[in-house]
């Protein structure tokens, strides 16, 4: 393992992500104002002492809404990546295990789903199921499955070839036990790294879906949706468009750097050409 | 462009399947030809599968198109008559067959909302989306390649770090926010551009180009971040190769070594990735078209979904899916032909 | 003698000069007032119609393009909300109220050259009443028993019963006079008698019309060409106006953009009323909305001023019942039940909901003012304990679930049809409000020919709706037509669903 001190990505990423987590956690106990409470007398306030980041078109405090938006993004990220990883690892393990045409079939299917633009599939899925937070989690989760399937399959395959697995099989250990006990622990590193990276992607996807009106519905705060509402009122108050976007970039940057840092930490082999 | 902006590992072109250990029967053809035909068959199967999935998925969307067209006052007889006219009362496989055979002939049906042939609609929208995509790629390439080369040449020095920071920021910024910020600065504040909308090519070619500038910039800059990193790593890889050492040993000028030899090799995987990520470019275009209110393909499909205009959604989804599958296929084939050696290096992004 | 002559010459010159100056002054003044013929106008509308026949499709989008411009009726509603003659030069009604006679102008021609006579009027209404035509608003004309073409310019309508709304209905968009020759083409290339004739419909883009040189009103229209351009996004419309691509935004200017536009010296914004009553509709067939106390509580918990501010930038007029101020029978009841959240809470407790209750508010996606009103209402109602979940649904779903099947708790919608208070007399309308007393009132009004008496009855009707808290009456959607300063004679209010370019001219 590399000395973490040289791992800038990990440190910066870690700090950014920690900030998001703390903000989100804090929002359960305290926000400067009720994020959904409207105040028509205080619309479009610029950032100042009374409202740190200003207010929106209904007089709601932007800082409080950004904090709640963090919770929204994190939950969607967790569930979506969870779905993707859960089903993906399952399918991928099976695919690695089966070989032959079944394995090829799964792979081909995943390729098809993988190639289709994720936004379009997410839009289609949310338009079938209807807009909303839960459905967008499902939609994003679904397009995460192919990614984890391929990753698991690829990584599992190489582990299957290893000596200790061959000997385990020779000894007569059941395949299920092998997969669970030996294969999976050995592919944990790439899974964690990819999971972190996909988390960042999920946050971006949720923001895009909410921007298009397909994600989290009003009045709940969602960074993407806040940007959508901000666009209508840009001439009156540019602040509305800046802070939610900044939050998205912060979160995605944090998780991306964290992912890179974890990759360097856990498996230097994966980053052979980069440093 | 927002979704998998780069972190997807590039599809290892060529032998991604793990089976070709044993040599397939090659009575009458060369291994290359066999591979090609196999890939072709897979292509058809994929296209079939994709079209089937699109068709089925969209049948599930609630909302009766006949009701929507005829409105509140429609009598059940009128509704039934229209459903019959639209062919909605036929069994699913028959509907699918009608649709696909028509599509192959270029007839994608008629839009429910506009009452115009869908192929016409799509063509008019392509006149916006294709230039947008091309302009985006142009910006992406123009920004990323020089930056990537610079970073590779100044490895681990401030210049390199600067480029890497740019790349990381580009990955983190959602393209639609970039678009909004550009509007805020260039349209609202400076008033150099309008905040959206599209002047048709007929009316004013220059005006049309101007309407595409900010959108293409939003998409392009974000992609540039991804490509800059890729260019950098490919250049580094190429510079570390034997043939570069040989060239240097031969006494060639550094510039020649870098640009003529290393770059050329480095660009191959870069170009490949650009091709493979056309799908994501289109996806990004959908959102950007909504930000800037451009009458392109993305906005068409988005509005059509909202209006439950099923034939349009089906047609456009099919088109996009086919396009992506075909591009991937072409890239695979070309790649396999061009240089199997570099396959390994492009696993990395 | 010489000096005098010289002075005379100067005097003469001076007089001549001043006369010329004054004359010039006066003529230019006169020119400034007089409409100038010529010019083209491009008008933006958000919703593109799905066809151009207003008689078979209830969509307002159609009427906005064709009514008054391409197709006209016997009567029309003018810019001040009054029913005035159009194709009919004059009209009269028999003493018993069961016979209406219209005299047409002479020499009216359809755009294809065919004359518009009493026969065509007869054909129009027989077609409208024919079940096969499936006219959506057939009920407005059901009182007609027969139509007689007495002579080429006189038409007599024999009625089954007295219908006091008959004249108003004759001014509606579905009562436009069409020609036998061209009725089948109405949907895609309408032929009418209007000041403009149809030229082209570029699907997905625009409808183009040109001046009708044979229009029966001499001197009109002023414009040479009118184009309706369909731009769904209000901010795109604004961008187009600023860029000079269009000259007028007819309906869809987002209220928050008014100040910025007014600051721009090139443009002006007229501020008036439409006939769209924005209401919070409550489903009387669902608990707890069948309880008048609950409905009253909801009404008192809503601060109309705040809703108007947040939803339409402060430009809407608050209302207290289902009628708009341009209607001659309107009575202002907006102050009858003012904002009082404490009383609302009290009422809820009395009704058995001390902790409030939960409900779903369905909002139509295409209408920003409805969505925003919904969001603000949800916030206000939460203050008295009523927790609303917002559901934004597509228009098709709204028509299907809310309008047809009354599958909703609450919804916000704008009712654009003018003078549609009679919808409350229909128990199957989506409010599911069933009040025999109200039905009685409406029937009485329809049978009452005396104007004063009618006014009294309609006032009673409005009060009944307010006192029964049938729905929460929020505001009238503002008319905010925005245009270049040189565009003159545009309607400030829209007392009916129409975008009339017939008298518009462009000042040079």
Nearest to C49 by CA among C39, C63, C36, C37: C63
**Residue C344 distance to chain B (closest CA, Å):** 35
A100's torsion region: left (phi>0), alpha (psi -120 to 50) or beta? left
Structure confidence by residue, pLDDT tens digits, C412-458: 999 888 888 988 988 888 999 999 999 999 999 888 888 899 999 99
The span from the CA of B331 to the CA of B4, in Å, is 19
Q: Per the CB < 8 Å rule, is A197 touching B7? A: yes
Chain centroid to CA B308: how far? 24
For residue C392, the chain B residue with the least C-alpha distance is B306
* Segment C171-175 mean pLDDT: 90
**Range in A251-260, A266-275, B172-181, C397-406 with the lowest mean pLDDT:** A266-275
Helix (H, G, I), strand (E, B) or coil at C495: coil
Measured between alpha carbons, how far is C171 from C77 in angstroms, rounded to an integer? 6
The minimal CB distance from C306 to the residues A37, A40, A232 is found for A40
**Taking 80 as the threshold, does the pLDDT of residue C3 lie above it?**
no
Confidence bin at C368 (pLDDT 50/70/90): confident
* DSSP β-bridge partners for residue C484: C267
At C200, give phi and psi (nearest 5°): -160, 150
Question: Rounded to whole angstroms, how far apart are CA atoms A217 and A229?
Answer: 12
Q: Are C209 and B119 in contact (CB under 8 A)?
A: no
The number of residues making up chain B comes to 349
Token code pair at residue B159? 């210049």
- Per the model's pLDDT, the better-predicted residue between C225 and C234 turns out to be C225
CA distance A97 to chain B (A): 12
Three-state SS letters, C7-36: HHHHHHHHHHHHHHHHHHHHHHHHHHHCCC
CB distance C74 to C200 below 8 Å = no
Q: How far apart are CA C366 and CA C47, in angstroms?
A: 10
For residues C199 and A90, the model is more confident at C199
Question: Is the per-residue pLDDT at C31 higher than 50?
Answer: no
Q: Cβ of A231 and B2 within 8 Å? A: no
pLDDT for B325 beyond 90: no
Locate the chain B residue with the closest alpha carbon to C243: B194
Chain A positions in Cβ-Cβ contact with residue C306 (cut-off 8 Å): 38, 40
If interface means Cβ-Cβ distance under 8 Å, which residues of chain C face chain B? 48, 50-51, 57-59, 134, 136, 203-204, 231-233, 235-236, 238-240, 242-243, 245, 365, 394-397, 399-400, 403-404
8 A C-beta contact, residue A3 and residue A260: no
A94 contacts chain B (CB < 8 A):
no
Is the predicted pLDDT of residue B299 greater than 70, yes or no? yes
B3 pLDDT higher than 60:
no
Distance to chain A for B74, nearest Cα, Å: 25
Which is nearest to C229 in space by CA: C207, C251, C245, C212? C207
Give residue ranges of C with CB < 8 Å to any A CB: 235, 254, 256-257, 260, 305-306, 309-310, 365, 368, 371, 375-376, 378-380, 382, 390-392
Residues of chain B positioned with their CB less than 8 A from the CB of C235 = 195-196, 293
Q: Name the residue in chain A with its Cα closest to that of C363.
A: A218
What pLDDT digit, counting tens, does each position of B76-103 carry?
Answer: 776 777 777 666 777 777 878 777 787 7
- Residue C393 Cα, gap to closest chain A Cα (Å): 9
Beta-carbon separation of B5 and A257 below 8 A: no
* Nearest residue to C125 (alpha-carbon basis) of C82, C160, C170: C170
H or E segment to which residue C85 belongs = strand C83-85
Closest CA to C92 of C141, C152, C145, C156: C156
What's residue B7's pLDDT? 36
Confidence of residue C209 (pLDDT cuts 50, 70, 90): very high
CB contact under 8 A, B72 and C404: yes
Tokens encoding A211: 């921007």
Write down the pLDDT at residue B320. 80
**Phi, psi dihedral angles at B272 (to 5 degrees):** -60, -45
Please list every residue in chain B whose beta carbon sits closer than 8 Å to the beta carbon of residue C59.
Answer: 71
The stretch A168-175 carries a mean pLDDT of 74
Residue pair C336/C465 in contact by the 8 Å Cβ criterion: no
Nearest to C465 by CA among C487, C497, C504, C433: C433
Task: Identify all chain A residues contacting B168, using CB atoms and an 8 Å cutoff.
Answer: 253, 256-257
Residues of B in contact with C233 (CB under 8 A): 196, 293
Residue C28's pLDDT band (cuts 50, 70, 90): very low
B-C Cβ pairs (cutoff 8 Å, strict): 71
How far, in Å, CA of C426 to CA of C423, rounded?
A: 6
Residue A209 class from Cβ within 10 Å (0-12 exposed, 13-18 middle, 19+ buried)?
A: buried
Inter-chain contact C50–B69, Cβ cutoff 8 Å?
A: yes
Distance between CA atoms of residues C173 and C192, nearest Å: 13
The nearest CA of chain B is from the CA of C395 a distance in Å of 8
- Say how many Å lie between the first and final Cα of chain C, rounded: 50
C220 has pLDDT over 60: yes
Residue B317's pLDDT band (cuts 50, 70, 90) = confident
* d(CA B267, nearest CA chain C) in Å: 40
- Output the pLDDT for position C9: 59
Q: Distance between CA C422 and CA C436 in Å, rounded?
A: 13
Mean pLDDT is highest, among A149-163, B50-64, B141-155, C316-330, for C316-330
**Cβ–Cβ gap A232/C254 under 8 Å:** yes
Measured in angstroms, the CA of C324 and the nearest CA of chain A are apart by 25
3-class secondary-structure state, position A112: helix
ipTM of the predicted structure?
0.85
Chain C neighbours, 3+ Cβ pairs < 8 A? A, B
Report the pLDDT value the prediction gives residue A248, as an integer from 0 to 100: 95
Beta carbons within 8 Å of C495's beta carbon, 6+ residues apart? C77, C78, C79, C80, C81, C273, C275, C324, C326, C327, C418
When the pLDDT of each residue in chain C is averaged and rounded to a whole number, the result is: 87
Which of B220-229, C303-312, C378-387 is least confident?
A: B220-229
More confident residue, C374 or A164: C374
Q: Which of C59, C245, C365 sits opposite B71 (nearest CB)?
A: C59
């Amino acid at each position: 393992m590399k000395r973490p001190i040289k791992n800038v990505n990990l440190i910066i990423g870690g700090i950014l992500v920690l900030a998001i987590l703390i903000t989100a956690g804090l929002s359960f106990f305290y926000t400067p104002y009720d994020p959904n409470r409207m105040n028509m007398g205080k619309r479009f306030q610029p950032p100042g002492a009374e409202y740190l980041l200003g207010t929106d078109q209904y007089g709601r405090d932007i800082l409080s809404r950004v904090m709640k938006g963090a919770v929204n993004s994190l939950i969607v990220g967790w569930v979506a990546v969870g779905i993707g990883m859960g089903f993906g690892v399952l399918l991928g393990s099976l695919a690695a295990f089966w070989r032959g045409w079944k394995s090829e079939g799964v792979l081909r299917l995943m390729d098809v789903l993988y190639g289709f633009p994720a936004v379009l599939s997410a839009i289609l899925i949310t338009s079938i199921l209807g807009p909303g937070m839960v459905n967008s989690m499902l939609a994003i989760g679904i397009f995460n499955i192919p990614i984890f399937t391929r990753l698991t399959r690829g990584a599992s395959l190489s582990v299957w070839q290893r000596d200790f697995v061959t000997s385990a099989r020779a000894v007569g250990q059941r395949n299920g036990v092998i997969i669970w006990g030996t294969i999976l622990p050995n592919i944990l590193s790439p899974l964690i790294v990819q999971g972190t990276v996909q988390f960042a992607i999920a946050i971006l996807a949720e923001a895009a879906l909410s921007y298009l009106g397909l994600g989290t519905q009003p009045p709940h705060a969602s960074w993407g949706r806040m940007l959508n509402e901000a666009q209508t009122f840009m001439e009156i108050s540019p602040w509305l468009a800046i802070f939610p976007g900044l939050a998205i970039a912060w979160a995605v940057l944090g998780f991306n750097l964290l992912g890179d840092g974890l990759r360097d930490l856990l498996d230097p082999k994966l980053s052979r050409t980069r440093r | 462009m927002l979704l998998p902006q780069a972190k997807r590992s590039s599809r290892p072109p060529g032998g991604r399947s793990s089976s070709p250990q044993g040599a397939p029967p090659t009575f009458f053809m060369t291994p290359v030809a066999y591979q090609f035909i196999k890939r072709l068959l897979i292509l058809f199967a994929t296209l079939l599968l994709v079209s089937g999935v699109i068709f089925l998925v969209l049948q599930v969307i609630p909302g009766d198109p006949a009701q929507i067209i005829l409105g509140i006052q429609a009598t059940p007889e009128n509704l039934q008559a229209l459903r019959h006219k639209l062919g909605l009362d036929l069994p699913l496989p028959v509907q699918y067959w009608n649709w696909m055979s028509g599509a192959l002939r270029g007839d994608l049906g008629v839009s429910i909302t506009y009452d115009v042939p869908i192929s016409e609609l799509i063509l008019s929208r392509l006149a916006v989306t294709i230039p947008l995509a091309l302009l985006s790629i142009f910006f992406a390439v123009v920004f990323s390649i020089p930056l990537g080369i610079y970073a590779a040449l100044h490895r681990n020095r401030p210049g390199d770090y600067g480029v890497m920071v740019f790349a990381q920021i580009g990955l983190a910024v959602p393209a639609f926010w970039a678009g909004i910020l550009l509007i805020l600065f260039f349209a609202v504040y400076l008033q150099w551009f309008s905040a959206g909308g599209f002047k048709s090519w007929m009316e004013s070619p220059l005006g049309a180009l101007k309407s595409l500038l900010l959108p293409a910039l939003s998409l392009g800059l974000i992609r540039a971040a991804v490509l800059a990193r890729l260019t950098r790593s490919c250049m580094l890889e190429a510079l570390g190769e034997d043939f570069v050492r040989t060239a240097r040993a031969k006494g060639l000028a550094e510039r020649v070594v870098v640009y003529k030899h290393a770059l050329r090799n480095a660009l191959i995987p870069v170009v490949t990735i650009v091709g493979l990520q056309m799908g994501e470019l289109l996806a990004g275009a959908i959102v950007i078209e909504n930000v800037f209110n451009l009458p392109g393909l993305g906005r068409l499909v988005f509005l059509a979904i909202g209006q439950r205009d099923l034939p349009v959604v089906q047609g456009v989804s099919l088109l996009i899916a086919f396009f992506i599958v075909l591009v991937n296929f072409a890239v695979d084939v070309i790649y396999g032909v061009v240089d199997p050696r570099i396959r390994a290096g492009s696993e990395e992004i | 003698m010489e000096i005098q002559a010289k002075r005379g010459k100067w005097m003469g010159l001076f007089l001549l000069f001043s006369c010329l100056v004054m004359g010039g002054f006066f003529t230019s003044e006169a020119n400034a007032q007089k409409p100038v013929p010529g010019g083209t106008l491009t008008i933006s509308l958000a919703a593109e119609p799905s066809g151009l026949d207003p008689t078979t499709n209830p969509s307002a989008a159609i009427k906005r393009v064709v009514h008054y411009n391409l197709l006209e009726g016997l009567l029309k509603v003018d810019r001040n909300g009054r029913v005035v003659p159009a194709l009919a030069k004059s009209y009269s009604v028999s003493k018993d109220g069961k016979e209406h006679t219209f005299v047409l102008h002479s020499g009216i021609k359809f755009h294809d050259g065919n004359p518009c006579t009493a026969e065509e009027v007869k054909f129009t209404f027989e077609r409208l009443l024919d079940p096969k035509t499936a006219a959506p608003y057939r009920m407005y004309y059901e009182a007609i028993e027969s139509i007689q073409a007495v002579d080429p310019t006189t038409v007599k309508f024999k009625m089954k019963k007295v219908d006091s709304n008959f004249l108003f209905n004759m001014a509606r968009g579905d009562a436009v006079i069409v020609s036998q020759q061209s009725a089948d083409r109405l949907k895609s290339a309408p032929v009418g008698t209007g000041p403009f004739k149809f030229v082209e419909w570029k699907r997905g883009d625009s409808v183009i019309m040109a001046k009708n040189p044979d229009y029966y009103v001499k001197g009109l229209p002023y414009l040479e060409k009118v184009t309706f351009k369909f731009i769904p996004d209000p901010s795109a419309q604004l961008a187009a106006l600023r860029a000079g691509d269009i000259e007028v935004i007819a309906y869809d200017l987002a209220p928050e953009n008014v100040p910025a536009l007014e600051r721009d010296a090139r443009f002006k914004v007229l501020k008036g009323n439409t006939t769209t009553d924005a209401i919070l509709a409550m489903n009387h067939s669902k608990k707890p909305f069948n309880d008048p106390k609950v409905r009253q509580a909801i009404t008192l918990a809503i601060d109309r001023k705040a809703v108007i501010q947040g939803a339409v930038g402060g430009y809407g007029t608050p209302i207290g019942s289902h009628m708009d101020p341009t209607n001659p029978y309107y009575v202002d009841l907006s102050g009858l039940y003012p904002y009082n959240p404490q009383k609302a809470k009290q009422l809820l407790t009395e009704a058995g909901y001390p902790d409030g209750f939960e409900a779903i508010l369905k909002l139509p996606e295409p209408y920003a003012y409805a969505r925003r009103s919904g969001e603000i209402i949800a916030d206000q109602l939460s203050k008295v304990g009523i927790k609303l979940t917002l559901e934004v649904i597509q228009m098709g779903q709204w028509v299907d679930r809310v309008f047809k099947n009354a599958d909703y708790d609450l919804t916000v919608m704008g009712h654009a049809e003018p003078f549609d208070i009679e919808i409350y007399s229909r128990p199957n309308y989506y409010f599911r409000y069933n009040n025999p007393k109200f039905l009685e009132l409406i029937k009485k009004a329809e049978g009452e020919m005396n104007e004063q008496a009618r006014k009294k009855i309609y006032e009673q009707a409005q009060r009944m709706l307010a006192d029964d808290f049938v729905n929460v009456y929020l505001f009238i959607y503002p008319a905010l037509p925005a245009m270049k300063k040189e565009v003159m004679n545009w309607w400030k209010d829209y007392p009916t669903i129409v975008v009339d370019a017939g008298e518009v001219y462009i000042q040079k």
